[in-house]
Structure 1
Amino acid sequence: APPAPNNPIIHSAEKDDTAIFSLRHIQTLWSWTAKPSKPSHPPISSIPRTPSSRLLDPDAQPPSSLKQFPTEPILSCNHEHSNSPTILYLAYGSNLCAQTFLGMRGIRPLSQLNVSAPSLDLTFDLPGLPYKEPCFANTTIRKLPEKPPIPPIPPVPPIDPPTPPNTSSQQWTKGLYGVVYEVTPSDYAKILSTEGAGSSYHDILVPCFPLPPSISIPENPSTPIPRPFLARTLYAPRLPPNPPSPPDSSSSPDKLPSFFRGLLLPPTRPPPPAQPSPRYLSLILTGCKEHDLPPAYISYISSLQPYTPTTLRQKLGQYVFLTLWAPALLLLMFGGRVLSDKKTGKAPKWVTSFSTVIINLMWKSYDIFANPIFGDGERTLED
């Protein structure tokens, strides 16, 4: 479900006058061309579990201005400054996979912890590259339902009506599951750089609940109530197609012709949602299994259908589109990495704006030319 209109995260996003998503797409496309800088990386099992004491540090607890623990994500800029030497980062997409996170990105977590983040839902609404990587993982804020009033007990019928068989794909209604890595500030800057140089996402603090180890035989069995803590993650809010501009803004994009105004807006795709590639889904599924996330969540990820070209036209379109656009995307990707700040991982605004224009031009060329000629490059065509 979309976030509530009064959500401060959305209000902050609407104030941004540059690209929100573009470098995220370019940097993620690197994952199907790049190879790990080292031929091997430590296994997930070698990373120790985050101690409970770390979750009690000030950066993992709500700011003193809040009277109770938040039930929704909050902007990290609204949190009090912390002197903690490490950062708790919530991963939910391809960064769950050791091949991507430890190998390709070269991150070395100090500890890790499987968690549930009930205030978020997993989505695949970040546009990628048609025919090859149609979309990437994102999250959306999930409104937690309130306890409904208890209705009166109806009379019991003599025979319960039969329930219809469930033939549709699995639906997930239990929020996001992922892994919180404890990383150094330099590694977190590297994460921001490889996830779009800080332009694609807002840095938010998410309430997380630790998950117990899947296999444990304590000497004194007990059922402790999990205590929530805050972890940072990257969230790309979905803005309306024509977000309102401040009335006193002299550089309002609304003063530009509609075509150019569209090139400066964050790239979005119309419904129905696109399907991620088999490669991308495989990374997420592998990461879920490596971390031994709950079987029900693994089953849900396994049930997701990837994008697969089924016609000769789609396969030809994959080759043609990749040949035409990959050089420009790779050039922007390398430029974003080189020009990004080494301490913060963020790229200059002119880089993100230029990248937004390129991404939007690519998708416009798909809508106008490629889709009519080669067929759907976002969703599998049924036989």
Structure 2
Amino acid sequence: MEAKSGTLWYVAYGSNMSAAKFTGGRGIAPIDVARVRLPRWVLSMEIPGLPYSEPAFSSISRRGTLRAEAADVPDVIGLAYLITEAQYRHVIASEGGGTAYADIAVIGEGIRPEDQEKLQNGCMLRTLTSAGMTRSPVPTPSLRYMSLLVDGAAEARLPPEYQEYLQRLPVYRPPSTCWTKLGAWVFLAIWGPVMQLLERVTMGSIGDDGYASAFAIWLVRVTMRLIWITHDWLFAPIFGRGDGCTDRSQNVAEPESWLEKRRLLEGV
């Protein structure tokens, strides 16, 4: 289905692949949906969140630009939603109003014949990528956040090999010792309310275009840098890291299956 005047194809590759998140949480009902691959783009968890809780969120990067990009990383696959321009402005607003993401145009390829027919391969699509706030080395996402991607991909019937790739991605392991739990509690007691305040300031400054004010964007980015400086230079050396990088540096083995991973981290 060709995007008519006033509509566009928006590619969701992260939590917005979940219908519960996109339609239920965001309140956006798409006109049509197609599965899409973005050639020469890869999934990246480089958007920093809150250490010890939600360390990372997804973005996409051009292939070859990530320092730790493995040779077997596939092109990103997601859902293309046909939505109105007003709905897309709502997407931008709900994703922070420009504090962490920027709107870009990309070329996508339909996965199956029915998707290709809808998208008319080679047409321009819209999506969001990181802007102004990235983290290297990239943190690991929480089990809660990663579950949205895994469940959304399964619900959308994305290619099995891509679903398996998502399931293999490492997730953040919450503190397991009393000392690290104490540090995490203190950190979140300090910065959790600040994050909530920033969200209110940001949403209160959203304009008709879906973007927050320049001041709100600046304030969020500066505060996020301060949050991570506090983590890197104070809490991490004393209490242990809250971004999942310790597990990777020490080659902590990931559970073989997604079910095992969920059982382990949920304490089932």
TM-score, normalising length: structure 1: 0.59
> Across the two proteins, how many residue pairs are aligned to each other?
239
Quick check: 2:41–2:60 contact (8 Å CA) kept in 1?
yes
Shift of 1:332: 1.1
Q: Which residue of 2 aligns with 1:232?
A: 126
Q: Which residue of 2 aligns with 1:312?
A: 178
Matched, 1:89 2:25: no
Shift of 1:311: 3.0
Pairing of 1:139-154 with structure 2 (within 5 A):
139-142=60-63
Quick check: 2:99–2:221 contact (8 Å CA) kept in 1?
no
- 1:87 match: secondary structure: strand
Q: Which residue of 1 aligns with 2:198?
A: 332
Task: Return the letter of the residue paired with 1:175.
Answer: D
Task: Return the letter of the residue paired with 2:235.
Answer: A
Q: Which residue of 2 aligns with 1:353?
A: 218
Q: Distance in 2 between matches of 1:198 and 1:114?
A: 25
Summarize deviations over 1:277-307 as a string: whole Å, max 9, x none: 1111100001100100000000010111211
Correspondence for 1:194 among 94, 106, 111? 94
Q: Distance in 2 between matches of 1:193 and 1:90?
A: 16
Aligned-pair Cα RMSD in Å: 2.3
Structure 1 runs not aligned, ≥5 long = 1-50, 58-83, 144-169, 215-225, 238-265
Q: Which residue of 2 aligns with 1:31?
A: none
Q: Distance in 2 between matches of 1:296 and 1:120?
A: 17
Matched, 1:105 2:26: yes
Task: Give 1 or 2: higher strand fraction.
Answer: 2
Quick check: 2:40–2:63 contact (8 Å CA) kept in 1?
yes
Q: Distance in 2 between matches of 1:98 and 1:359?
A: 29
Structure 2 runs not aligned, ≥5 long = 65-69, 115-119, 254-268
Task: Return the letter of the residue paired with 2:159.
Answer: P
Summarize deviations over 1:168-191 as a string: whole Å, max 9, x none: xx9643311001101112211111
Shift of 1:236: 1.4
Quick check: 2:97–2:202 contact (8 Å CA) kept in 1?
yes
Shift of 1:269: 3.2
Pairing of 1:1-383 with structure 2 (within 5 A):
51=1, 54=2, 84-142=5-63, 172-212=72-112, 227-237=121-131, 266-271=132-137, 273-309=138-174, 310-341=176-207, 343-379=208-244, 381=247, 382=252
Task: Give 1 or 2: higher helix fraction.
Answer: 2
Q: Distance in 2 between matches of 1:195 and 1:134?
A: 16
Shift of 1:268: 4.1
Distance 1:199 1:369, change over 3 A: closer
Shift of 1:98: 1.3
Identity of matched residues, %: 35
- 1:138 match: secondary structure: strand
